[in-house]
Amino acid sequence: MSDQRTPTQTLDAVVVGAGFAGLYMLHRLRQLGFSARVIEAGSGAGGTWFWNRYPGARVDIESMQYSYQFSEELQQEWQWSERYAPQAELLTYINHVVERFDLARDIQFNTRVVSAVFDEAGSRWQVTTNRNDRFSAKYCIMATGCLSAANKPDIKGIDSFTGPVYHTGEWPHDGVDFTGKRVGIIGTGSSAIQAIPEIAKQAAHLTVFQRTPTFSVPARNAPLDPEYVKNVKQNYAALRKTAKQQFVAFDAQSNEKAATDMSPEEIRAELERRWEMGGLNFYGGFADLLVNKHTNDMVADFVREKIAQRVKDPATAALLTPKVVFACKRLCADTDYFETYNRDNVSLVDISTTPIAEITPEGLTVAGKVYAFDALVFATGFDAMTGSLNKIDIRGIGGKTLKDKWSAGPRTYLGLCSAGFPNLFTISGPGSPSVFTNMVTSIEQHVEYIGDIIAYMGKHKLSTIDATKEAEDAWVDHVNEVAGGTLVNSCSSWYLGANIPGKQRVFMPYIGGFPPYVEKCNEVASKG
């Protein structure tokens, strides 16, 4: 019988995912003279911005900072239209990058990686796909994204609804028209906060089912002023340098003073100033925001006061007011989110104590009440940080799976690698600053660091690199220690995996800040 297996393609590296991370990783590997192939599940590049096409989707970090900086020509030639670019514009930008750097010829679309198994004898990763492709690569680089595995809730009868069902993270590419429809949306996290105002403009009636309210501040989005753009482009190097010196890796115009060193009048003035600035600049208001409970309470109470002013009905405002620590869940930036609840065609249903009992062919039931809909939207987030990796059968030394190793929570060294999995790298993995920063800046730092490692390996003719268990344990302890010294792990959030039933609750990202993280990486590199 003849061997019908697909011939194995031999490469220096396989990269999984064609979002911001995978695209730059491919470009960097090429620059260093290595052969690489990117495997992408979607029919196009873009990652987050390819899949998340729901109405209102846009970035929450300013466009001129949420962009690549590895190419000065790219920075200068690209023209952003708004302070916070919408999804379609971000996807256009990404496709421009693909074309400009001729990346598509090394990307295989419409393909999912099924397994990545380390061959100890040959010190190579054997990668297979759902299309029976076989790759043998010295390096396997996971650029699968922190928020890419859509979380669909386990609700009785979830498949019984006869109308269309959508998830914000898997939105139809040709859009959805809700005109004249009765729509139910489940969730009030960051995706819902962007989608709800837009859906409400179309729907005959929109009913929002909320388990936990979310802190959100006005985005203050607007078209970019040409003079502002000109000034930024003339001073891009200085802006990027300033951003990298800040905790969040973007210029949040951070205040170095703690609220404890300010008078009540100064605190109020700073809060009002941040409110008018809009967006995630609110993070930069006080140096002790995430470590001092009194400061955090003052900021939280200020935003709660603003919610009460934005929502006319006191009962609805109360339901929309978070009771948790400010920023223990990701802060959202919105455009008329709270004001949307003042519309006659929008209703809010609290499911915090009485959850959805069942989804039926006509709609759903809560506390014995039946809600009938023409369409349902799940804005229920993602299995963050680890979900996309756990969907792949990744096996390291001795055949141990990464999923089993991480069953009690992810364990990495610097968020870049995991002991027992040689030559396997994760970009923006758990244990790195990732979601607490400007993701594009963190991605570039990771890609360049991984590129330096691979170049060093080639120069010195080394076959494998792996984290030691001792180094990994020390880093995991440090990540937990830093998180424990803040207020951020004081509530149930996706940072902890709390939105996924049965998932071990472990604080996954590194909250020590971008500059200390880079310093640690550089320290490790200096030791060879």
Global pTM value: 0.93
Note the pLDDT tens digit of each residue in 120-168. Answer: 999 999 999 999 999 999 999 999 975 555 667 878 888 899 999 999 9
What is the predicted pLDDT for the residue at 508?
72
Please state the three-class secondary structure of 47-61 as a single string: CHHHHCCCCCCECCC
**Both 423 and 512 in a single domain?**
yes
Let me know whether 233 and 129 are in one domain.
Answer: no
Q: Are residues 469 and 325 in the same domain?
A: no
Max Cα distance, the chain (Å): 84
Which residues are CB-neighbours of 188 under 8 A, at least 6 positions away?
196, 208, 210, 211, 212, 213, 214, 320, 379
**Closest by CA position to 333, among listed 254, 275, 274, 280:** 280
Residue 116 lies in a domain: yes
Does 310 fall in a domain?
A: yes
> What's the CA gap between 245 and 250, in Å, rounded?
8
Strand residue runs (E) in 375-435 = 375-378, 393-395, 424-426
In a domain, 176, yes or no: no
Number of domains, the chain: 2
CATH code of the domain containing 502: 3.50.50.60
Q: Are residues 432 and 346 located together in one domain of the fold?
A: no
Centroid of chain to Cα 449? 20
CB atoms within 10 A of CB 28: 20
Average pLDDT over residues 303-312: 98
Asked if residue 341 and residue 223 are part of one domain, the reply reads: yes
- The answer to whether residue 28 is domain-embedded is yes
Domain-embedded: residue 66: no
Domain span holding position 257: 186-378
Residue with tokens 């339901």: 319
Q: Using a CB cutoff of 8 Å and minimum separation of 24, what contacts does 488-494 make?
A: 488/290, 488/325, 488/327, 488/328, 489/328, 490/324, 490/325, 490/328, 491/324, 491/325, 491/328, 491/329, 492/212, 493/328, 493/329, 493/330, 494/329, 494/330, 494/381, 494/382, 494/384
Domain boundary among 355, 378, 401: 378
* Window from 84-88, 428-432, 518-522 with minimum mean pLDDT: 428-432
Dist CA 242 CA 380 (whole Å): 35
- The Cα–Cα gap between 488 and 481 comes to 12
Closest CA to 485 of 452, 458, 511: 511
Say yes or no: 337 and 391 in one domain. Answer: no
Q: How far apart are CA 486 and CA 482, in angstroms?
A: 7
The answer to whether the CB of 233 falls within 8 A of the CB of 89 is no
Give the pLDDT confidence score for residue 386 in this predicted structure. 63
* Whether residue 491 sits in one domain with residue 442: yes
* 341 lies in some domain: yes
* pLDDT at 52 exceeding the cut of 70: yes
Residues 344 and 227 in one domain: yes
Q: Which of 16-20, 111-115, 134-138, 278-282 has the lowest mean pLDDT?
A: 278-282
Choose one of 333, 348, 378: the last residue of a domain.
Answer: 378
Question: Quick one: pLDDT at residue 383?
Answer: 55
Q: What pLDDT score was predicted for residue 1? A: 36
Residue 467 clears pLDDT 90, i.e. is over it: yes
- pLDDT tens digits along 171-221: 999 999 999 999 999 999 999 999 999 999 999 999 999 999 999 999 999
**pLDDT confidence band for 8 (50 / 70 / 90):** very high
> What distance in Å separates the CA atoms of residue 484 and residue 422, rounded to the nearest whole number?
30
Is the residue at 190 inside a domain?
yes
Res 3 pLDDT > 50: no
- pLDDT bin (cut points 50, 70, 90) of residue 491 is low
The model's pLDDT over 352-407, given as tens digits with 9 standing for 90+, comes to 999 999 999 999 999 999 999 999 999 986 555 566 788 899 999 999 999 999 88
Give the pLDDT confidence of 396-434 residue by residue, as tens digits.
Answer: 999 999 999 988 888 999 999 999 999 999 999 889 998
Q: What is the mean pLDDT of the chain?
A: 92
For 404, what's the count of Cα atoms within 13 Å in the CB-facing half-sphere?
A: 11
Quick check: is 396 in a domain? Answer: yes
Q: Do 395 and 500 belong together in one domain?
A: yes
β-bridge mates for residue 376, sequence order: 165, 184
Place of tokens 């040709």: 174
| 208 and 306 share one domain | yes
Q: What's CA 34's distance to the chain center, in Å?
A: 28
Please indicate, yes or no, whether residues 333 and 202 belong to a single structural domain of this protein: yes
In this structure, the answer to whether residues 474 and 501 fall within a common structural domain is: yes
Query: Over the stretch 234-261, which tens digit does the pLDDT of each residue have?
Result: 999 999 999 999 988 889 888 889 999 9
Q: Among the three residues 332, 355, 378, which one is the final residue of a domain in this structure? A: 378
Q: What is the mean pLDDT of residues 58-67?
A: 96
DSSP result, 296-309? HHHHHHHHHHHHHH
pLDDT over threshold 70, residue 84: yes
pLDDT at 282 (0 to 100): 86
